[in-house]
Amino acid sequence: MSAGKRKLYLVEGGPTPLDAVAASLGALYDVEVVPVERAAAAMEESPEQAVFAEGLSAQGRDVLLGAHARRIIESIGEGVCVFEPGVGMTWASGRFAALSESTRSRVQDVCARAAARLQEQDGDTSRRCEHGLKYTVRDDSADGERFFEALVSPIEWSSGRITHVAAVLCDVTESRRTEIKLGAIDRAGAELVRLDADAVRGLNAADRIRLLEEKIVRAAHERLQFDHFTIHLLNRENGRLELVMSEGLPADVQEVDLYDQPEDNGIVGYVAATGKSYVCPRTDLDDKYIQGLAQARSSLTVPLLMHDKVIGVLNVESDRPDAFFDSDLQFAEMFARYVALAFHILDLLVVERYTTGETVSSAMEGEIREPLDDLTHEAAWLQELARRDPDAAEHAERIMGDIESIRRRVSDVRRGPRSILGVDQALKEPTIDERLRDRRILVVDDEAGIRDTIADILRRRGARVDVFRTGEEALAGLASAFAHGGPGYELVISDIKLPDRNGYEVYSAARRLKPDLYVILMTGFGYDPSHSIVRASQEGLQCVLFKPFRAQRLLDEVRKPFEKSAGGSDQDSTADS
């Protein structure tokens, strides 16, 4: 064949002089005059061949049309075969014959079953050719697992019975793999949101979150092959995207402040603001990208949606460019819906606990109101009688004081996380505690009642306490106290949920300034939207207090680091809910 020219076969037997045709087309084609049988063979050998035929006999036309039909059949799917019930395969295309023996055997079994079913269903001969059954055939030969869809249809009848069926195979490996992976992700997602009541009941809030984190990491690795990812949850009060989970990424990603803004807050901020997923094929060419993984080359970011509202963002990174495809996006979005639901369920558990406690306390307060009112009335009557008896008057005053104390304590229990229990008794004991004398303690909580109460209790025992309302104020106070070789602080007590920061950030800043600084985190009924407890616990956090806690428990925990310095117990303590 001449280089660069397509082959043209001129079929003998027609009225047109082939020499003239060859001469006129010779500049364009590599021309050869052949009999019809050679032209037919050439058509079957390669679809690139061109054939010119004119005025052929009926037999010659049948030869060429047969070759053309066979070429079309060879191009269909991954193979075509004809099956005769009771006999077996009677014809197969070249593509079908090239399949593994095990696959051909499975297709033959499928054809036998389909022929039997089609015969049972066959009643209307006018619609016979519309019948067809689909089967999935798996090929697990040495070159890797493949899946085929086999469409089996009847093609020949005799005496009212189907005598031959044809099967057309299409390779559905990718779609089948996608289907299998979606099923695996669906099962993994169901595992995320399945919280066994008996198992969860014995766990405090931190342990519940830790359990969820383990499930997310395992599913991301095993089902999605995501090894480098972060999860941010949206703080709706200030629009800040708080990092709650980081896997396979450097610690300094925790230092980046991101907000739900489409500009200047990276891809994570853009996705949170728009609610739209974002695939970044090349991080070095995308102005939105903010460095996460040290050698990141591409990323995939999807929103965590709950009732069509963004509650957070899942961000996945890879050290390869163009690492994520449409299927990865589909898988990530599906997985993200389960992650969002799992976090939502954890929040609901905390809310349920809080509202249940408040409901029970309110009911109790209502039940004891009447007898307390009656006791108050009787104590007032005793006061009138006891005006001339100082001892009796003292008893009446004590009764009145006890009644008021009961009312206040019930109210404190009902207020839940906004109160500390047992404050009255703690404040009645103003004796200096030598373990706390002149100890420098920082307290940060946006609830004035909580921070002032803690400060009063500790100051009465000799501690030097500084109080702060926000995370920024506390961070500034820490930096100032330790600046230029200053004395710093010996203990930090921080609420987890602050207006501008979270407990983990306070903990992390404190430990950077003084690695062995003792930190106590507080949270209401285990509410921890930023997952500060889990993250800080991984770095050595010793104590968490779940509001409402008792004042005596606070004192016990505050004394521990100073008992250690005096040679006391060295056992860490994380308070249970």
Q: Domain residue spans in the chain?
A: 6-73, 79-171, 182-349, 353-415, 423-565
- Do 184 and 223 touch, CB atoms closer than 8 A? yes
- What distances in angstroms separate CA 217 from CA 3, 88, 213, one per listed residue? 59, 51, 6
Residue 292, amino acid: G
Looking at residue 431, the DSSP 8-state letter turns out to be: P
If you average pLDDT over each of 65-69, 111-115, 562-566, which comes out highest?
A: 111-115
pLDDT higher at 493 or 13:
493
Separation between Cα atoms, residue 557 and residue 548, nearest integer Å: 15
Question: Could you report the per-residue pLDDT of 300-333, keeping only the tens digit for each?
Answer: 999 999 888 998 999 999 989 999 988 889 888 9
Question: For residue 75, what pLDDT is reported?
Answer: 73
DSSP 337-349: HHHHHHHHHHHHH
Q: Which overall architecture, per CATH, does domain 79-171 show?
A: 2-Layer Sandwich (3.30)
Phi, psi dihedrals of residue 338, rounded to the nearest 5°: -70, -40
Q: Which amino acid is at 137?
A: V
Q: Encoding tokens for residue 443?
A: 């307290």
Cis peptide before 303 (omega within 30 of 0): no
Tell me what pLDDT residue 128 has: 46
Task: Please give the pLDDT value at position 338.
Answer: 85
Weakest mean pLDDT among 44-48, 85-89, 464-468 = 44-48
482 in Cβ contact with 476 (< 8 Å)? no
Considering the four listed CATH numbers 3.40.50.2300, 3.30.230.10, 3.40.50.2020, 1.10.10.10, the one that applies to the domain covering 423-565 is: 3.40.50.2300
pLDDT in tens, 405-460: 676 666 655 555 556 777 777 777 768 899 999 999 999 999 888 899 999 999 99
520-542 pLDDT, tens per residue? 998 875 556 666 777 777 788 88
Count helices and strands in the chain by DSSP H and E runs: 17, 18
Q: What superfamily in CATH does domain 182-349 come from? A: GAF domain (3.30.450.40)
Averaged over 374-390, what is the pLDDT? 66
Q: What is d(CA 103, CA 96) in angstroms, rounded to the nearest whole number?
A: 9
Instruction: Lowest mean pLDDT of 88-92, 262-266, 465-469, 572-576, name the range.
Output: 572-576
> In the predicted model, what is the mean pLDDT of residues 83-102?
88
**pLDDT at 572 exceeding the cut of 50:** no
Which of 183-187, 437-441, 549-553 holds the top average pLDDT?
437-441
User: Which residue(s) pair with 492 in the sheet?
Assistant: 442, 519
* Secondary structure string (H, E, C) spanning 464-513: EEEEECCHHHHHHHHHHHHHHHCCCCCEEEEECECCCCEHHHHHHHHHHH
Find, among 127, 124, 128, 125, the residue nearest to 165 by Cα. Answer: 128
Lowest mean pLDDT among 5-19, 41-55, 259-273, 378-392: 378-392
Mean pLDDT, to the nearest integer, of 373-381?
Answer: 67
Phi, psi angles (nearest 5°) of residue 407: -60, -45
Please tell me the distance from the alpha carbon of residue 300 to that of residue 137, in angstroms, as a whole number.
34
> Do the domains at 182-349 and 423-565 have one common CATH topology?
no
127 or 94, which is more confident? 94
DSSP string, 239-251: TEEEEEEEESS-G
- Run of H or E including 156: strand 146-158
The b-or-e profile of 241-250 (16+ CB within 10 A means b, else e) is bbbbbbbbbe
